[in-house]
Amino acid sequence: MKTKLILIAFFISGINLLQAQDSTQAQIQSIKDEIAIIKKPVQTHFMLRGFTQFGFDASDENINFNMTSFNPVLLWRHGDRFLIEAELEMEYMSNQFEINLGYANASYIVTKGLVVRAGKFLIPFGTFGERFHPSWVNKFASQPLGFGHDGIAPSGDLGIEVRGGFQLGSSKLNYSLYAVNGPRIKDGTEEPEEAGMLMFKNETENNNNKAIGTRIGILPLSNSSLEIGLSAYYAAPGSSHSPFEGDPLNEDLNYENVTAMLTAVDLSYVKIISPLMGIIDIKGQYSLSNISNAVYYNPEDTSRYTFTNESSAYYVQMAYRPALAENQILKNFEIAGRYSAYTTPVGSLWADNKSQITVGLNYWLSWRTVIKANYQINESSMSGGHGMSTMTGGNGSMFQLHIAAGF
Amino acid sequence: MKKLNYILGIIFSVFISVIALQSCTTSKAVITGKSGAQLWGENCVRCHNSPSPVDFTDEEWKTIGLHMQVRANLTKEETEKIIEFLSSAN
């Protein structure tokens, strides 16, 4: 009897114990839940960053203080797949202030190796425009000939893109494929001396043809130090109407069938070389623009003319920074050299053959704040001419002292 | 127009083969074998000086990671490993 009672008591207290355990477990769980809610990663995140560059340029003719860039960049992330990026480009050069929308787009990571992007984005035609143009990335105070906004290739445009990167054995491959509004051809009605040029700043579309393009990049070495890229870009830049409509003399001139094919190769090699106590950085790009032949009108002598509409621009640069040096000051110095050349079509009214040598000494105050001292020698086969200055590559030499900072 | 079709054809086939190649790749070993710190050292200097972990907070690193994954066409695995490293070392 006694044992029975003890057993029952045992049983009851056992149940009680279990219940007590249950309730503490429930409590622990609810505390855990609460902590999880508090610790839950923020779904959205906003960042305002950007970069600026200013300084002075001294040539044989003049000394100018310039602000070559003040570019606020806005980043907004939702979750871990959705990103909006936007950039304003402000420039104050030769007493002129300009403001442009560099880019404004939304990207969504669909799956590994596939990102979809829409809006205004930097065009991955080669690498300079998309990767190396920000002033704190560019090792020089100036941009290579033909690679700025008035260059032969697009910088930013409105459209849609798929892109991504993935591992391929011990190499890596990346791609980008896009359709954008595309350029317009200058027919000479506004600026006769620029007839036949492509105008990439084309906010109001003049036709239904979009431009399409692609870049494939390969990083063959397993340490990712080398990347080689191939790009192509195709556009039909003419409008279906003759720009001379209503002018009986030239009404037959039409640019509807003009096509433009642009191609580029790019290369980048960045490697820490221990025996040299530093980083070697080599970059380059060669861009070629082929526009089909068309007949243009020269209002100055009322003549008609045509030419092989082919332009090219390239640059190669090399930099060395003794980043592994023990000396705290020495390790922040960097020496850099660049050669660039830009050839525009013979027979056009903007025919030219420019080349430029730039040597630079940089001092890095932080990972993205740098003082750049450049000496640049320009040569041009066309002296004077439209838009020629030492900045864009007339004849003569120039000294530049700039400070560039990312913030 | 013929030329356009031709070019579109080339681009399309390149795209398809790229995607096809991707799905065939079996060798993840290269990335898996490398630490986040090593991938950071190899990849983040390719375009600009490499920022150090202390330059940004964890939330900021996530945003920057996504930004760089898109801009630099980095692979998802390497980006994740690098961001994990940067957020653990700041």
**Residue pLDDT, tens place only, A172-197:** 999 999 999 999 999 998 899 999 99
Is there a domain that residue A79 lies in?
Answer: yes
Residue B63 lies in a domain: yes
Residue B33 is predicted with a pLDDT of: 84
Nearest CB partner across the interface for B62, out of A45, A114, A272: A45
Q: Note whether A177 contacts B74, CB cutoff 8 Å.
A: no
A369 belongs to a structural domain: yes
Kindly report the length of chain A. 407
Is the Cβ of A116 closer than 8 Å to some Cβ of chain B?
Answer: no
pLDDT at A67: 83
pLDDT attached to residue A390: 41
Chain B residues lying within 8 Å of A272, measured CB to CB:
41, 45
Number of domains in chain A: 1
Nearest-CA distance B75 → chain A (Å): 5
What is the reported pLDDT for A42?
Answer: 65
**Residue A149 contacts B, CB cutoff 8 Å:** no
Q: What per-residue confidence (pLDDT) applies to A384?
A: 45
Q: Any bridge partners for residue A103, and if so which?
A: A87
Identify the band that residue A23 occupies on the pLDDT scale cut at 50, 70 and 90. confident
> Residue B5 to residues A183, A234, B16, B86: CA-CA distances in angstroms?
19, 11, 16, 46
ipTM over 0.95: no
Asked whether the CA dihedral A138, A140, A145, A151 is positive or negative, the reply is positive
Classify each residue of A304-334 as buried b or exposed e, where b means 16 or more C-beta atoms within 10 Å of its C-beta.
eeebebebbbbbbbbbbbbbeeeeeeebbbb
Count of C-beta atoms within a 10 Å radius of residue A176: 25
For residue A321, name the pLDDT band (cuts at 50, 70, 90). Answer: very high
Please give the pLDDT value at position A95.
80
> What is the structure's pLDDT at A202?
67
CB atoms B49 and A117 under 8 Å:
no
| Residue A151 covered by a domain | yes
> Contact B21/A224, CB-based, under 8 Å?
no
Query: Between these two residues, A386 and A14, which has the higher pLDDT value?
Result: A14
Residue A77 to residue A241: CA distance in whole angstroms: 44
Would the pTM of this model clear 0.90, i.e. be above it? no
Predicted confidence (pLDDT) at residue B86 exceeds the cutoff of 90: yes
Tell me how close the Cα of B46 comes to any Cα of chain A, in angstroms.
6
Residue A154's identity, in one-letter code, is P
Inter-chain touch A368–B70, beta carbons under 8 Å:
no
Of residues A111 and A246, the one with the higher pLDDT is A111
pLDDT tens track for A355-379:
999 999 999 999 999 999 999 999 9
CA distance B90 to chain A (A): 16
* Closest residue on chain B to A334 (Cα): B49
Q: How many CB pairs lie under 8 A apart between chains A and B?
A: 132
pLDDT exceeds 50 at position B26: no
Of B4, B64, B70, the CB nearest to A107: B70
- The reply to whether B13 falls in a domain is no
**Residue A203 token pair:** 């906010």
What is residue A163's predicted lDDT score, i.e. its pLDDT? 98
B23 and chain A in contact, CB less than 8 A? no
Read off the CATH number of the domain in which A231 is found.
2.40.160.10
Are residues A328 and A341 in contact, defined by beta-carbon separation less than 8 angstroms? no
State the pLDDT at residue A194.
Answer: 93
pLDDT of residue A207: 67
Identify the band that residue A209 occupies on the pLDDT scale cut at 50, 70 and 90: confident
Q: Give the DSSP H or E segment for B2.
A: helix B2-24
Residue A20 lies in a domain: no
Does residue A3 carry a pLDDT above 70? no
| Phi, psi angle pair for B54, to nearest 5° | -75, -5
pLDDT of residue A248: 85
Domain that holds residue A198: 42-406
Say yes or no: A42 contacts chain B, CB-CB below 8 A.
yes
- For residues A2 and B18, the model is more confident at A2
| Amino acid A150: pLDDT | 75
- Assess whether pLDDT exceeds 90 at residue B21: no
Q: Give dist(CA B8, CA A232) in Å, integer.
A: 11
Tally of structural domains, chain B: 1
Q: What part of A 161-220 touches B (C-beta under 8 Å)?
A: 162-170, 172-177, 212, 214, 216-217
Q: Stretch A285-312: mean pLDDT, rounded?
A: 95
Per-residue pLDDT reduced to its tens digit, A26-50: 887 887 777 776 666 668 999 999 9
B16 in any annotated domain:
no
Probe site for chain B from A167, A173, A227 (most B CB atoms < 10 A): A167
Best of B28, B48, B62, B77 to substitute, by most chain A Cβ atoms within 10 angstroms, is B48
Quick one: pLDDT at residue A383? Answer: 53
What pLDDT band is residue A148 in, cutting at 50, 70 and 90? confident
Average pLDDT, chain A: 89
- Among chain A residues, the shortest Cα distance to B19 is held by A113
| A6 domain-assigned | no
What is the pLDDT averaged over residues A6-23?
57
Which residues in chain A are closer than 8 Å to B20, comparing Cβ atoms?
Answer: none
Question: What are the tens digits of pLDDT across the range A49-91?
Answer: 999 999 999 988 888 888 888 999 999 999 999 999 999 999 8
Q: What percent of chain A has pLDDT over 90?
A: 71
Q: What are the backbone dihedrals phi and psi of residue A346, each rounded to the nearest 5 degrees, phi first?
A: -65, 135
Query: What pLDDT is stored for residue A245 in this prediction?
Result: 86
